[in-house]
Amino acid sequence: MDFQLSQEEALLQSTVRAFARRELVEPAARWDRDEAVPDQSLVDELVELGLVGMCLPEKYGGGGQPLVMAILAMEQLAAVSPLAAAPVFESNVGPVRVIELFGTEEQKQRWLPEVAKGRLQISVGMSEPEAGSALTDLKTRAEPASGGYRVNGRKCFVTGGGHSGAYMVYCRFGEARGAAGIGALVVEKGTKGFSFGKQERFMGLRGFPSADLVFEDCVVPKENLVVPAGGFASLMGCFDIERCGNATMALGLAAGALEVAVEYAKQRETFGKPICDRQAIQLMAADMAVRVDAARLLVYRAAVNAGRGMPSIQEASMAKVMANETAKAVTDMAVEMLGGYGYSSQFPVERMLRDSRGWAIAGGTLQMQKIIIAATVFQRRFNQFK
């Protein structure tokens, strides 16, 4: 068991860290203030650094790297802003991995190189107004049509909605109830019968596009079917990769808030001494550091054990719970440590506190993750519907 980063991993971490602190601090504040989506120039810079599609196979233009490399990069970017890490997230742990793992060769040749070049972002359409945690209750239907499938339904809380060029849409095929009838197909932006709802405005994560996906007799070619009916388990297994990404976003926020708080405590003076000399501040910083490191270890474990495949459902869920709860707690303590300045948009911890709330909701709530963990602990599934 080795807790040390390899030379390659350490170099990646330090390179991305330096880039993020040098280039992205001011834009991060602007994205939040203006609720602006970062422009293509950010994606181009991340492509140049080799971070976009770094986990996709080399034969499709990717970097062929294991999951942990993307996790290391995302953490350093998210420490400044999750928006900065979003292109790395979507191209390495997002629904593009469903295509990589379960798609046909034609689908991989068609979409993966475009993602690796930073020319295409694929988002996932899962949740519906009456099917969030109870995803097997989803009602969006894909029925056979001439040359493909006719899709009708609505997806909500879709990160990337209206902005991404394509969407991995979970649908119900046929009359089978529950998980048995669920599969997924890719719907490309501009397809007739496919439109978007209004852009959402959230408490945090401002600048992340999010809108409903609306399907009204939308005909999708049969070549876009990636996972047929009955493949729900495969979709959920792949989604554990995305949960590792979610956990990393939260981890980055917590680590970034700790960094800002420590620097502030070393410079801010009261009664002739920097506040880091005060025991109350020392105890708070120690608590923050312990939580961040514990979350980091769980996230890294899930990613390392996943290699180039899918992580353990237990390890991914544990990492998500710990990182999400850590982000909320540590950003809150950072605001407290900075006092009035922490409550001001002049300092980034106010934004970090707001952003931290979103990750505990996205990708499966903490309560649902704990139910998953309990099932692995007791080695049996619990029917929550009876």
pLDDT of residue 61: 97
Identify the domain boundary among 212, 230, 248: 230
Are 16 and 61 part of one and the same domain?
A: yes
Residue 298 has pLDDT above 80, yes or no: yes
Residue 218 has pLDDT above 90, yes or no: yes
Our CA dihedral for 109, 71, 102, 213, rounded to 10 degrees, sits at: -90
- What is the tens place of the pLDDT at every residue in 137-195? 899 999 999 889 999 999 999 999 999 999 999 999 988 888 899 999 999 999 999 99
pLDDT of residue 147: 87
pTM of the model: 0.95
- What is the tens place of the pLDDT at every residue in 328-364? 999 999 999 999 999 999 999 999 999 999 999 999 8
**What's the number of domains the chain is made of?**
3
Are 209 and 240 part of one and the same domain?
A: no
Pairwise CA distance, residues 56 & 310, whole Å: 13
- List of residues 6+ apart from 71 with CB closer than 8 A: 244, 245, 248, 299, 300, 303
Are 223 and 239 part of one and the same domain?
A: no
pLDDT of residue 177: 86
268 backbone dihedrals φ, ψ, rounded to 5°: -75, 125
Q: When comparing pLDDT for 27 and 129, which is higher? A: 27
Identify the domain boundary among 200, 230, 260: 230
Identify the domain boundary among 201, 230, 259: 230
Owning domain of residue 94: 7-116
> Per the domain annotation, does 384 fall within a domain?
no
